[in-house]
Amino acid sequence: MEQIITCKLKLILTEEQKSDLLYTINQYNLAMNFVLQDNFTDKLTNDVKLHHKYYTIIKEKFQLNSQTAINVNRQCSSIYRTRWTRAKTKRDHSIFEKPPVYKALTMKYTLNRNVSIFKEGMLLSISSLNNRIKYIQLKGWKKHYDLIQHCKLSDPLLKYDKNKKEFYLLLPITVNIEDQKHKSIIGLDSGIRNPIVAASQNEVKFYDKPEIIKERKTRLKEMRQELHSKGTRSSKRRLKSMSRRERLFVSDWSHCLAKQVISDFPSALFIMEDLTDIRQNTSTFRKEKEDRRQREQWNFVEIQDKIAYKSVLYSGIRTEKIDPAYTSQTCPECGYVSEDNRSKGSEIFTCQNCGLTKNADEVGAINIRFKGLTVSQPHCSERQTSSNKPTNLFVGS
């Protein structure tokens, strides 16, 4: 099987080279916003039509080279395709009230055309508006160096870090991994109180947020409130810096959590909930302020994605997602399904039929695992004993 990972490589540049690349990115951004604005009336998503309409204009107005002009049209069409998809799936056409704005200081490059990578010396050759910058040294993680030598490379993204005043190359690489057979099935329940609860055949493990993370997020929330009340330009700059630090902080914690789950259950098939549109289906406006903040900052997608790709990368096993319907209302002992088994917001599950009392997240993880047993591949070495009760679990009373 194949797994795509992104390598982050720092470009060692002179001040003059940085100035050239920054000017190129700014012109790229202007071209992107021009096409996004002008295309707002027609909302075209076809690359060919956008190419015929804007290719010559982009080259003449923004002095971009041919391949960069093509990438502008491709990226603009992708942005509008994403918006059409959101409008159809969420039935929300308010996203078309005004045209999208491209603010990121990033630029799409095409491998072996306007950018080239020399694997042996980890050198880069990249095009700017003024000239072709050659023999740029790339600096990154040694493990990424080894992967780049043997794996397939894809079109990279050039990113400018405004705080550090440095350029980075985000290079996707495709890693070929031998498909492995799973030896056990693990159900993963995603929650706000417990980010992950894992249920195996013999045990249930809770993965909670460390107290230091809770304290830090609370402290950042209080600092944001103070800065919002000031409203000065310096406070807005500080808010942007804090938001970036918090995103990196949460992302690092999510990486550590995902790796811990993979390490605790080697060679396991992980069954997770399909939580698509969970935010739209969960009302938060009637919640208490702190509860609403916790729900809106719930990073379940990030955690699930990191577990999914790490499972493939380290174990060679793909994760699966199941419909989570009734997993929080079903008794894992007798199979009785009722809304009364768990009241909204309660941490305790109490079966109204057999009287079983357990932690609600634990019950959810067990039921997710039982559902996974019905869809798992037949070569799993884990035996289904009578204690699993997968056959009568979802037969409602």
What domains sit in the chain, N to C, each tagged with a CATH number?
Answer: 2-173 (no CATH), 184-375 (3.30.420)
C-alpha to C-alpha distances, 164 to 109, 168, 194, 257, nearest whole angstrom: 22, 11, 35, 28
What does the pLDDT read at residue 220? 82
Instruction: Round to whole Å and give the CA distance between 134 and 123.
Output: 8
Instruction: Round to whole Å and give the CA distance between 281 and 397.
Output: 26
Tokens 């605790």 -> residue: 264
Local structure of residue 19 (DSSP, 8 states): H
Q: Which residues contact 126 (CB under 8 A, 6 or more apart)?
A: 21, 109, 114, 115, 116, 132, 133, 136, 158
Digit-by-digit pLDDT tens for the chain (397 residues) are: 889 999 999 999 999 999 999 999 999 999 999 999 999 999 999 999 999 999 999 999 999 999 999 999 999 999 999 988 888 776 667 788 899 999 999 999 999 999 999 998 899 999 999 899 999 999 999 999 999 999 999 999 999 998 889 999 999 999 999 999 999 999 999 888 888 999 998 899 999 887 777 788 788 888 888 888 887 888 888 888 888 888 888 889 899 999 999 999 999 999 999 887 776 666 554 556 666 666 666 788 889 999 999 999 999 999 999 988 888 889 998 889 988 888 776 788 999 888 889 999 999 999 999 988 876 654 444 544 333 443 333 333 3
Instruction: Round to whole Å and give the CA distance between 73 and 28.
Output: 11
